[in-house]
Chain A
Amino acid sequence: MTTFIQTLIDGLSLGSIYALIALGYTMVYGIAKMLNFAHGDVIMVGAYAVIASVSMASLPPVVGLILSVVICAALGILIEFLAYKPLRKSPSLAVLITAIGVSYLLQNLALLIFGSEQLSFPQVINLPDFAFAGVQIKGVTLATLVITAVIMIALTLFIKTTKLGKAMRASSEDKDAAELMGISVNRTISITFAIGSALAAIAGIFYGASYVYIKPTTGAMPGIKAFTAAVFGGIGSIPGAMLGGIILGIIEKFSQAYISTLWADAIVFGVLVLMLVIKPTGLLGKDIKEKV
């Protein structure tokens, strides 16, 4: 029984990271209607930004965290402007290939700047760990869960109620009609990317706090898994991203603990394939009929 609860908590801890990453993924996908493959690598940039400012330049941690969020938001706008904007009207294949290009570009830039050796994330978030009845919970896990929930609620409210949020939904629904109503679609999408990338920076900070070691390829695998989580919960749905992330983390940990660590990869990806084939709209996604 202790093993069961401990595994559940380990899954929650991993899942909360997936959920945090998936929030940014699903937001960009829901509004810009494109799969931002580079999202995972923005997380890596966010983590490196903290390392560079806190560990290397010895800035106070708070400044480092804010800097990281600002850098990533700016990076998001820059990527959108340089790589995605020229492809607004292209088929999704072209956009996806470009996104893969951006992902590799970020990884290789980080490789040139920081080298292939792993760097340690500074201890900017110091929280005590809890233990009761033989079960251990890390403070960082609780913090990640709380922050993910807060962001989820804030994002939902933002998109539902604010003017900008409405503009985002309008741009997502019908770009031309939104343009006719006086909404600047380009600006709206830029802001979406800025918010998405700022979320990625926060995810990067919590990833660094939980797993300590950062490499240029750090973002790739969590990025893919978080996308899986976003699809699982229904891509475009913000509560779905959180739900999907946590469920995926729990599935991964339980398959490691109770089935086999040898097959953990296959199981997680198998879940993704099954989910996409059986219910492509995910747990909380909306079914949109294709128009001719």
Chain B
Amino acid sequence: MKNNVLKKLFSKNSITIYIVVAIYAIFSSLLYTDNLSRQLTNMLISVSCYIVLAVSLNLVVGFLGELSLGHACFMSVGLFTGCISSVLMSNVIPSVYIRLPIAMILGGLAAAAVGFVIGLPALRLKGDYLAIVTLACGEIVKNAITNINMTVESADFEFNGAIGLNTNKYGIYIKDVGELLPYAIVLVFVTIIVMMNISKSKAGRCIMAIRDNRIAAESIGINVTYYKLIVFVLAAFFAGMAGVLYGHGNSFAAASKFDYNMSIEILVIVVLGGMGSVRGSIIAAIILRALPEMLREFSDYRMLLYSVLLIVIMILNANPKFADLKGNLSIPKIISRLKNKDKTVKEAK
């Protein structure tokens, strides 16, 4: 019994939660006591958004095993829907702090709807073709948002997709990182917990079965169509929420930023963190977003480093020797080896 509790306390998922709690505890205590440097303060929200983006993309790439090259477009859809609805709600709900969670859900839903539409072709396609379709859809969405022109006279609101959205002008930009950080923390935790529970649930096992062998999964009665759609919709939902958060933390957002290159940047985070590993995505998001800021002088080499990382990691992962090495170095393996040693020593006695 005691052993079970211990096991639960130190399970893989709990450790992930502890790490995230520890990181946020350190940073928020520094922030709220005014001890955090301005440079890091300005990065907290953006890194949190990237954590959510990477963890949600990991659901598609790591769990479902399909490559999505249009993740940034979900963020973009969420951002613009959420932020615009937040502006339009300002007459009804005066406080931006109450509107933000509502906007996040609306933005998430809009992104989920787009995820559903993009997911539909995915039902017929897989592999390279699916990847290209997501890329194409991302570009179509970007093109569509750029061409939006809307004016709402009652709210004195004007939006031209090509020029972008100035959130500061419409009073939905939350300048103080301290005020926005709690929302970011909640979003990150909700995302992580949902993602970790999915991988443990029936749906999660079905999704992984589809990844490992689609035909076999289909033959034992798993509804491939249904689960694929669920994955796309859920990943888009969280990316959309992250977009709304991002929009409220930045005074300016333009659709052209959320292009294919940004999707690739998120993909690099997922691959570096390990496909299928929630914790890996979190740590990789922090490293890949923070490192270039710390090493500003080397900005020329940032993308070069990313590309080399992508190639090297994929090649190492494919190498069985490397997999063995990794396995032998992991903490549980070392612990169990120590335990076994004890056992054999005892048995010998």
Contact = CB atoms under 8 A, between A and B. Distances in A.
Q: Do chains A and B touch in the complex (CB under 8 A)?
A: yes
Interface of A: 34-35, 82-83, 86-87, 89-98, 100-105, 107-109, 111-112, 224, 227-228, 231, 262-263, 265-266, 269-270, 272-273, 276-277, 280, 290, 292
B6 interface: no
Interface of B: 61, 65-67, 120-121, 124-125, 127-129, 131-133, 135-137, 139-140, 142-144, 146-147, 215-216, 264, 267, 271, 300-301, 303-304, 306-311, 314-315, 317-319
B127 A86 contact: no
Given A94-B318, A97-B314, A104-B303, 11 more contacts: A92-B128, A93-B65, A101-B307, A103-B307, A105-B304, A112-B301, A273-B140, A276-B124, A276-B129, A277-B124, A292-B216
Given A272-B133, A276-B133, A91 B308 contact: no
A88 B286 CA distance: 32
A227 B308 CA distance: 24
Contacts of A262: 146-147
B125 A269 contact: no
A265 B125 contact: no
A231 to B, nearest CB: 7
Nearest to B219: A292
A97 B311 CA distance: 8
Contacts of A86: 315, 318-319
Contacts of A231: 129, 132
B22 to A, nearest CB: 31
A292 B304 contact: no
B286 to A, nearest CB: 21
A276 B267 contact: no
Contacts of B216: 292
B318 A89 contact: yes
B310 A101 contact: yes
Contact of B314 (A89, A98, A111): A98
Contacts, number: 125
A104 B318 contact: no
Given A265-B139, A265-B140, A276-B121, A93 B304 contact: no
B67 A112 contact: no
A91 B303 CA distance: 25
25 contacts: A83-B315, A86-B318, A87-B318, A94-B317, A96-B128, A97-B267, A97-B310, A98-B314, A98-B315, A100-B264, A100-B310, A101-B308, A101-B310, A104-B264, A104-B306, A105-B307, A227-B132, A263-B147, A265-B143, A269-B136, A270-B136, A272-B133, A273-B121, A276-B124, A276-B129
Contacts of B133: 272-273, 276-277
Contacts of A265: 139-140, 142-143
B124 A280 contact: yes
B140 A266 contact: yes
A289 to B, nearest CB: 11
B311 A98 contact: yes
B318 A93 contact: no
A10 B135 CA distance: 26
Nearest to B131: A96
A93 B66 contact: yes
Contacts of A97: 67, 267, 271, 310, 314
Contacts of A102: 307, 311
Contact of B215 (A94, A108, A292): A292
A224 B314 contact: no
B102 to A, nearest CB: 30
A269 B315 contact: no
Nearest to B310: A101
A27 to B, nearest CB: 15
B271 to A, nearest CB: 6
Query: Interface centre among A95, A98, A102, A228, by most B CB within 10 Å?
Result: A98
Contacts of B308: 101, 105
B129 A280 contact: yes
A93 B67 contact: yes
Nearest to A260: B147
Contacts of B65: 91, 93
B310 A98 contact: yes
A290 B136 contact: no
A231 B309 CA distance: 29
B141 to A, nearest CB: 9
B311 A101 contact: yes
A87 to B, nearest CB: 5
A86 B140 CA distance: 35
Contacts of A273: 121, 133, 136-137, 140
A98 B146 CA distance: 31
B318 A90 contact: yes
Contacts of B144: 266
Nearest to B129: A276
Contacts of B310: 97-98, 100-101, 104
Contacts of B146: 262
Given A86-B319, A96-B67, A102-B311, A290 B135 contact: no
Contacts of B66: 93
A112 B304 contact: yes
A263 B147 CA distance: 8
Contacts of A92: 127-128
B139 A269 contact: yes
Nearest to B308: A105
Contacts of A269: 136-137, 139-140, 143
Contacts of A87: 314-315, 318
Contact of A93 (B61, B129, B306): B61
